[in-house]
Amino acid sequence: MHTAISETGSGPKIRAAIDGLPPYSAGRSVRDAASEGAVLELLGLAANEGPYGPFPSAAKAAFEQVGRANLYPESGFRTLRAELADMLGVDIAEVAVGAGGIGLIHHLSVALLDEGTNIVVSTPTFHAYALDARKQGATTLSTPVRKDGSYDLMTMLGLIDETTRIVYVCNPNNPTGGIVSREELLSFIAAVPEHVTIVVDEAYFEYAKSPEYADTIAERDFKRRNLVTLRTFSKAYGLAGLRVAYLVGSPEIIGAVQKVQSNYEVSNVAQAAALASLREHEELERRVGLNEHGRSELTEGLRSLGFEPLVSHANFVYVRVGDAKAFTKALEAEGIIVRPGNAMGDPASVRITVGTPEQVNATIAALERVVAKGLTSGV
């Protein structure tokens, strides 16, 4: 028999910064719909997951590690860090590995933020930045993204003050897909005070093929003591469920991150899959090419229906639809789950993940049915 826990008395003292915090919302999934009794076969295009799964070699490497699940992971993830350092042309002391991009953002927040400090971003953007800042008692200063969906770096400079500890540059930006150019980024980091850590979030790096896009790890002009670059295996590498990402930056910042993270937070399974994935150069480029084609098809399909999607440099397309929740509900009724912009501060737009060619065709067909029913209109 279950006995209810008494809620009388003063109870546990939860930190004020945590007590009023909204729980993290990853967006609606096919599982969510299934748990509610959905009978329609649904296509989940809300989370920007790689549609092709892990590379076969990565799946094989991961499976081989399952038999060693009784053993703790390698402390400090040295093998994976060394492989990344060699591939990227940096020292191993300049590389940290963590449990996904969200995990590393959390570690940066713990290492760098105190109550009374702030972070600076453009919005809409990845909401984990502000969420983790609040966990540390810090605030978020923001300015809207530019019309193309990229970060407004010059306006952000004006928001930085003596209590700013982190400025995030999501490039390509999630959820809009916009990028800032190499020249803009170089000018920005040169103007940011040295006490502020610049975090360039390149979760969608592999998809960004514009000649204006900067490789902040390979290009020596971006070597700054107060700059770190975040990349992940969740998107182009298809390992979202295994939770593995990495940071590259000065030993000072990397060392601080390693002090606050668990020695064992990235499993042997995840490390093995990541290592195998790093060697799949040709298959990675093939999949990136498929994404580029699918992104173009989805963008043109939206335009043909009267919408004006932003130009994207990632594996998703962002489009203004009027009422994001109503549009999302209408599209789900047609079998497609997408991400409304409400949680990211934009209730008028949605983000649609680029799937396989078949999934892109299904998405466009569903969009046509929604528009034909008069349930929404391009705005």
Assign residue 60 the CATH number of its domain.
Answer: 3.40.640.10
113 in a structural domain: yes
pLDDT at 14 (0 to 100): 78
127 in a structural domain: yes
pLDDT at 73 (0 to 100): 94
Judgement on whether residues 188 and 308 belong to the same structural domain of the protein: no
Ranges of beta strands (E only) in the chain are 43-44, 95-98, 118-123, 139-144, 164-170, 197-201, 227-232, 245-249, 316-320, 336-337, 339-340, 349-353
Judgement on whether residues 121 and 172 belong to the same structural domain of the protein: yes
pLDDT at 1 (0 to 100): 53
Judgement on whether residues 203 and 307 belong to the same structural domain of the protein: no
Judgement on whether residues 205 and 296 belong to the same structural domain of the protein: no
Last residue of one domain, picked from the residues 277, 305, 335:
277
Judgement on whether residues 224 and 298 belong to the same structural domain of the protein: no
Print burial letters for 113-149: b (CB count within 10 Å at least 16), e (below 16): beeebbbbbbbbbbbbbbbbbbbbebbbbbbebbeeb
| Among candidate residues 215, 279, 275, 249, the one with its CA nearest the CA of residue 92 | 249
C-alpha distances out from residue 307 to 91, 299, 304, 378, Å: 47, 9, 7, 4
Last residue of one domain, picked from the residues 277, 302, 318:
277
Biggest distance spanned by C-alpha atoms of the chain: 66
Q: Which residues contact 275 (CB under 8 A, 6 or more apart)?
A: 61, 79, 80, 83
33 in a structural domain: yes
Judgement on whether residues 183 and 324 belong to the same structural domain of the protein: no
Tokens of 263: 């020695």
- CA separation for the pair 166, 18 (Å, rounded): 20
Judgement on whether residues 79 and 182 belong to the same structural domain of the protein: yes
User: What pTM, to 2 d.p., does this model score?
Assistant: 0.92
Judgement on whether residues 356 and 266 belong to the same structural domain of the protein: no
9 in a structural domain: no
Task: Name the DSSP letter for residue 256.
Answer: H
15 in a structural domain: no
Domain extent for 365: 20-49+282-372
Ranges of beta strands (E only) in 240-374 are 245-249, 316-320, 336-337, 339-340, 349-353
Contact 244, 270 (CB under 8 A): yes
Last residue of one domain, picked from the residues 277, 292, 308:
277
Ranges under pLDDT 50 in the chain: 39, 377-378
Distance of CA 173 to the CA centre of its chain: 9
Q: Is the dihedral of CA 129, 150, 339, 45 positive or negative?
A: negative
- CA separation for the pair 73, 80 (Å, rounded): 11
330 in a structural domain: yes
